[in-house]
Amino acid sequence: MRNPTHIKTSLLLLAGSLALSACASKAPKQLPPDPVPVTTNNGSSLSATPGSQADFVARMMGDDTIYFDTDRFNIDSADAAALGKQAAWLGQYASKRITIEGHADERGTREYNLALGERRANAAKNHMVSLGIDPGRISTVSYGKERPIALGSDEAAWAQNRRAVTVTLD
Amino acid sequence: MKTTNLLAFAFALVALPAFAQTPAAPAEPAPPVSEGIEVTVSDDAEWQDLGVAITTFATDQDVPTRASAGSTAQIGRQMSEIIAANLRNNGLFKPSGPQGLPQPGYAQVPSPDYPVWQGRSADMLVQGYVRAAPDGNLTVGCYLFDVALSQQLAKAGWDVSPGDWRRAAHKCADMVYSRLSGESPFFDSKVAYIAETGPKDRRVKRLAIMDSDGANHSYITSGQATALTPRYSPDYSEILYLSYLNGSPSIYVYNVASGRQRLVTRSINPTFAPRWSPDGRSILYSMAIGGNTDIYRISANGGESQRLTNAPGIDIGGSYSPDGSRIVFESDRSGSQQVYVMNADGSDQRRISFAGGRAATPEWSPRGDQIAFTHIGGNFRIAVMSPSGGGMRFLTDSWQDEAPTWSPNGRIVQFFRTARGSGATSIWQVDLTGRNERRLPTPVGASDPAWGPVRP
């Protein structure tokens, strides 16, 4: 579980810094976790427009994505922590809506994986709702095994692909 | 027996050569079952010895045609090659020719020189002709001879438009296959599938169609929206498939003639896994509501949906028995994917797969006697079992084979294979013995094959 999260974190930070601040030559290897909730934009060049998807990605530091075990869709404690962080951000930007994208690894049949991705996205949604987020702000979509993020055919890649990714709608 | 007569009728035999004895009648007299070669392919017997010689189809006059394949003589040559390829790939025959065989003249087509073929130890001989009709169509004749008996076993003729010349080859191969094996024909049929291009994480997936042997490939969708899991309607007029056209997965009914499509049902919930009933009047689809997926039935004309399953978890897919009375489907209600059977109204749901591992994507054979499915236990393998769950046999063994679809006669299964690492996909087929496996020659990556019925 840690490994995919870290890879994801650095990828996202890199993408975020490239997109948002031409003067930042490279993303730091690792950042300390932000306090939650983050209340203000501190004005540094690394910061995105508050309340934007870029801001969400930067603030989540990888916790925009939660990961699942094979064929499972339960929310474990790491997932709950990540979803709590997401919910806090959503609490701060009450007009923002999100889509939760559910995914499966390649080691499943196509149609079942579509249903499994939907189930995972819904598990994440239900948890967010239990944290007080209006279900009307959350939509879900399943991509089954159609959109892998890790391209290998091994357990490490599959663990990264069994995921639910929260995307905010600007 | 079987359908050779019906094919010739349906195909409107226009003319046989002047020397043919029965110019206007549909060519083949219904052969008594006991006549000729007695073969059963219902068991696993290894029987691949029947040598079938196929000569180049002759022509009365080598003239240009409107077919891209060329002149009548060129088409005749290719027809023989198609017939040989068809017969080669199902484990029953050992075809030879047309290369290396004597080429009969037009007049010799219906009356072979038997001693020559006996000297070559051919068991069976297939000959035919291609003739340009005055209206621009092609007239194709097809003859099957038993060499040892010095006897004609079957003949048929078809009048086809130039663009359909390959179909006449498939019809001829079907005639030979049916007459010699006693099985129903299947070569003259089409497959809907998904054409795949691009890298693993940005794969473009387009709805496409092809003939059963992989020829005549053509794209239907552009690839802008991911398309998945097509199913041809029993009359080939429509294709059910999943598309992300509106952002989330939904089942569409695509009309082949008009190119228009409609949603199978209007819902805010995602729908997937579409299936036709054998008569084409009903559609099964699966719909997820709040993470719980169930199977629904709706009339092909629309209207109210009927929910067929209500177990917590994922109930998905569904394949009708040939008589439409029962449905085999997949459910993880037991904790993992397994195969279940229910009545067509959803009653009497019973699990049938108990062989260990997981069992997914069940498809009922058009003959009714077998269920093909994906067995998951380490590797993903195509397997068959009886509708009561007994007699499970593996047909393939590879890293990831999934999504079987039956040939119209229930003797062959197509499926798709995913390569470990690259995720490259390809469509394969295997016969019920599991011994005769081959890849279909698709122009790009290919998955989710859906085999339609024999064309009329």
User: Could you tell me the two tokens for A39?
Assistant: 């209340």
Q: pLDDT by residue for chain B (456 residues), tens digit each?
A: 333 332 343 333 433 443 333 333 333 333 333 333 334 444 445 555 789 999 999 999 999 999 888 999 999 999 999 999 999 877 789 999 899 999 999 999 999 999 999 988 789 999 999 999 989 999 999 999 999 999 999 999 999 999 999 999 999 999 999 999 999 999 999 999 999 999 999 999 999 999 999 999 999 999 999 999 999 999 999 999 999 999 999 999 999 999 999 999 999 999 999 999 999 999 999 999 999 999 999 999 999 999 999 999 999 999 999 999 999 999 999 999 999 999 999 999 999 999 999 999 999 999 999 999 999 999 999 999 999 999 999 999 999 999 999 999 999 999 999 999 999 999 999 999 898 999 999 999 999 999 999 998
The residue in chain A having the minimum alpha-carbon distance to the alpha carbon of residue B247 is A141
CATH code of residue B172: 3.40.50.10070
Cβ distance of B249 and A106 shorter than 8 Å: no
User: Could you tell me the two tokens for B349?
Assistant: 């749901």
Report the run of H or E that residue B143 belongs to, with start and end: strand B138-146
- CA atoms of B141 and B145, how far apart (whole Å): 13
Inter-CA distances, B20 with B5, B24, B80, Å: 17, 10, 20
| Strand ranges of the sheet holding B315-320, from the earlier edge strand across to the other edge | B315-320, B326-331, B338-343, B350-351
What number is the average pLDDT over the span A62-87?
A: 96
Beta strands in B302-424 (DSSP E): 302-307, 315-320, 326-331, 338-343, 350-351, 358-364, 371-377, 379-385, 393-394, 401-406, 412-418
Count CB neighbours of B392 within 10 A: 18
CA nearest neighbour of A51 among A20, A15, A91: A91
Report the run of H or E that residue A114 belongs to, with start and end: helix A110-130
B204 and B167 in a common domain:
no
| Strand ranges of the sheet holding B218-219, from the earlier edge strand across to the other edge | B218-219, B204-211, B190-197, B445-451
| Phi and psi angles of residue B297, each rounded to the nearest 5 degrees, phi first | -120, 140
Angle at B282 between CA B280 and CA B283, to 5 degrees: 100
Contact B426, B415 (CB under 8 A): no
pLDDT at B21: 36
CA A39 to chain centre: 20
Question: Which of A71, A108, A122 is nearest residue B290 as measured by Cβ atoms?
Answer: A122
Q: What is the largest CA-CA distance in chain B?
A: 73
Average pLDDT, chain A: 82
The crossing angle, in degrees rounded to 10, of helices B72-88 and B165-181 is: 40
- CA atoms of B360 and B358, how far apart (whole Å): 7
The residue in chain B having the minimum alpha-carbon distance to the alpha carbon of residue A145 is B201
B176 and B210 in a common domain:
no
Q: Is residue B46, in this structure, part of any structural domain at all? A: yes
Count CB neighbours of B292 within 10 A: 18
pLDDT at B49: 72
User: Could you tell me the two tokens for B201?
Assistant: 């994480």
- CA atoms of B355 and B14, how far apart (whole Å): 54
Cβ distance of A152 and B272 shorter than 8 Å: no
B298 and B219 in a common domain:
yes
Domain boundaries, chain A: 2-169
pLDDT at B91: 76
Strands B292-299 and B204-211: unpaired
- CA atoms of B81 and B56, how far apart (whole Å): 8
Contact B232, B241 (CB under 8 A): no
Q: Is residue B456, in this structure, part of any structural domain at all? A: no
Q: Is residue B388, in this structure, part of any structural domain at all? A: yes
Cβ distance of B291 and A151 shorter than 8 Å: no
Phi-psi region of B324 (alpha: psi -120 to 50; beta: other; left: phi over 0): left
Q: Is residue B241, in this structure, part of any structural domain at all? A: yes
Superfamily (CATH H level) for A2-169: OmpA-like domain (3.30.1330.60)
- CA atoms of B421 and A153, how far apart (whole Å): 5
Cβ distance of A115 and B247 shorter than 8 Å: no
A-chain residues within 8 Å CB-CB of B332? 71, 112
- CA atoms of B367 and A60, how far apart (whole Å): 55
CA nearest neighbour of B161 among B125, B132, B200, B187: B132
Question: Which of A106, A112, A122 is nearest residue B330 as measured by Cβ atoms?
Answer: A112
B328 and B350 in a common domain:
yes
Domain that holds residue B310: 190-451
- CA atoms of B388 and A112, how far apart (whole Å): 23
Q: Is residue B115, in this structure, part of any structural domain at all? A: yes
* Cis amide prior to B104 (ω within 30 degrees): no
Rg of the Cα trace of chain A? 16
Residue A151 touches chain B, beta carbons under 8 Å: yes
- Domain-terminating residue out of B156, B181, B206: B181
Residue A149 touches chain B, beta carbons under 8 Å: yes
Count CB neighbours of B70 within 10 A: 14
Under 8 Å CB-to-CB from A22, ≥6 apart: which residues? none
CA nearest neighbour of B215 among B156, B159, B163, B178: B163
Under 8 Å CB-to-CB from B247, ≥6 apart: which residues? A141
Strands B151-160 and B124-132: unpaired
B175 and B133 in a common domain:
yes
| DSSP annotation string for A37-106 | S--S----TTPPPTTSHHHHHHHHTTTTEEE--TT-----HHHHHHHHHHHHHHHHSTT-EEEEEEE--S
Q: Which residues pair with A163 in a beta bridge?
A: A67
Q: Which residues pair with B239 in a beta bridge?
A: B232, B254
B346 and B413 in a common domain:
yes
Query: What 3-state class would DSSP assign to B277?
Result: coil
pLDDT at B97: 86
- CA atoms of B155 and B20, how far apart (whole Å): 10
Percent of chain A with pLDDT over 70: 73
Contact A102, A121 (CB under 8 A): yes
What number is the average pLDDT over the span A99-120?
A: 98
Q: Which amino acid is at B448?
A: D
Residue A106 touches chain B, beta carbons under 8 Å: yes
The number of distinct structural domains making up chain B is 2
* Cis amide prior to B230 (ω within 30 degrees): no
Residue A112 touches chain B, beta carbons under 8 Å: yes
Cβ distance of A119 and B314 shorter than 8 Å: yes
DSSP A135: G
Query: What 3-state class would DSSP assign to B376?
Result: strand
B163 and B205 in a common domain:
no
- CA atoms of B370 and B352, how far apart (whole Å): 12
Residue B303 touches chain A, beta carbons under 8 Å: no
pLDDT at B121: 79
Pairs of CB atoms within 8 A across A/B: 94
Report the run of H or E that residue B138 belongs to, with start and end: strand B138-146
Confidence band, pLDDT 50/70/90 cuts, at residue A111? very high
Inter-CA distances, B310 with B160, B286, B287, B349, B402, Å: 50, 11, 11, 11, 26
Cβ distance of B228 and A115 shorter than 8 Å: no
- CA atoms of B128 and B124, how far apart (whole Å): 14
B217 and B357 in a common domain:
yes
CA nearest neighbour of A64 among A74, A72, A55, A73: A55
Question: Which of B201, B332, B420 is nearest residue A149 as measured by Cβ atoms?
Answer: B201
Question: Which of A108, A121, A147 is nearest residue B201 as measured by Cβ atoms?
Answer: A147
CATH code of residue B262: 2.120.10.30
B-chain residues within 8 Å CB-CB of A11? none
Question: Which of B249, B292, B314 is nearest residue A112 as measured by Cβ atoms?
Answer: B314
CA nearest neighbour of B140 among B126, B125, B123: B126
Cβ distance of A110 and B421 shorter than 8 Å: no
